Amino acid sequence: MSGEPLIELRDLRYTYLAGTPKASEALRGVSLRIGEGERVAIVGPTRSGKSTLVAALVHLLRLGRGQVFYRGEDIAGPGYDRAALRREIGVVFQQPETQIVEDVVGADVAFGPTAAGLSAEETRRRVRESLDAVGLPYERFRLRYVHALSGGQRRRVALAGVLAMRTPVLVLDEPAAGLDPRGRRELLGLLRRLLSGRSLTLIVCSASLEGAALLCDRAVVLDAGRVVMDGALREVLEEADRLAALDVTLPEAAALARELRPVFPGLPAGVLDGEELEAEILKRLGAA
């Protein structure tokens, strides 16, 4: 990464219910730099601090200690325009069905742009573009009731609502959790297509590297509120045992590679699909 990072987290600390007997430390000093256009997976088990980190990033909670810089500016600083920050970082929360505010699909996607003061014409353009992009064609879906959609479709509506804000940074918190294999494949395929044409900076939070591995090229691993690994995705996957001990779901190929290591010592776990794993195995069998 060269020059100034787009996002810099400096020693983030946060304790829920601080000062009470139920106090629990969610972040214990997280520092992280994310450059423009990076695709970063933030993974870790339940309560490792992922969601708290997202909340801190968009200033939904007041940090105990530490600072968040966006384009070099402290977002908690006096006079910082936090409304403008919302137009920079779009967040699709876990179970985004819950962030849908309108009954009708088109109206929900239009909510953000309208609230941001965009013209009716510009809003309509963005609603069309976003719904088309998430595979819910505008003409067919704009007047549909949200409650009559499937879970996977609702998730896409929520995603479209965030895309319509055209933020340069997109944060996805557990984008595929709870979807069936077909729904997950469709959503991840869609996200990949979406990303391929844009210079978005992407942050994916998940307890699973399965989907994140398809979208990201860097992985940051959190455990108990601290960064315990940070590197290129394949390098992090190589530490498959450590990830498994943290209850992080590995991509299926990496998980299988890990289980085959007793037969093929040194078999790389940094494989992203069955074909790569097959090639590695054939190489080793050929050498035997």
Partner 1 sequence: MIEAQNLSFSYRTGEEDAVHALRGVGLRLEPGEFVALIGHNGSGKSTLVRLLVAVLHPTGGELRVDGIPVRPGNELEVRRRISVVFQNPDDQLIMNRVADDVAFGPENLGLEREEIAARVGFALRALGLEEISEHLVEELSPGQKQRVAIAGALAMRPRFLVLDEPTSLLPAPVARRLILTLRELNRREGTGVIHVTHSMSEAALFDRVVVLDGGRVLMDGSPAQVFRRSDQLREAGLDVPLAVELAGRLRARGLPLGDGVLDAASLREALAGLRGSRAEACGP
Return the bridge partners of 91, or none.
171
Binder among 215, 220, 250, 269 for partner 1 (CB under 8 A): 250
Q: One symbol per residue from 220 to 249: x for binding partner 1 (CB under 8 A), - otherwise; what is it?
A: ------------------------x--xxx
247: which residues sit within 8 A by CB, 6+ positions away?
Answer: 45, 46, 207
What dihedral do alpha carbons 92, 23, 61, 102 form, nearest 10°? 40
Q: One symbol per residue from 26 to 55: x for binding partner 1 (CB under 8 A), - otherwise; what is it?
A: -------------------xxx--------
Binder among 25, 132, 168, 264 for partner 1 (CB under 8 A): 264
Which C-beta is closer to partner 1: that of 35 or that of 268?
268
Decide: is 213 part of the binding site for partner 1 (CB under 8 A): no
Binder among 183, 230, 242, 272 for partner 1 (CB under 8 A): 183
Which C-beta is closer to partner 1: that of 54 or that of 68?
54
Residues that bind partner 1 (CB under 8 A): 45-47, 150-152, 177-178, 180-183, 207-208, 210, 244, 247-250, 252-253, 255-256, 259-260, 262-264, 274, 277-278, 281-282, 285, 288
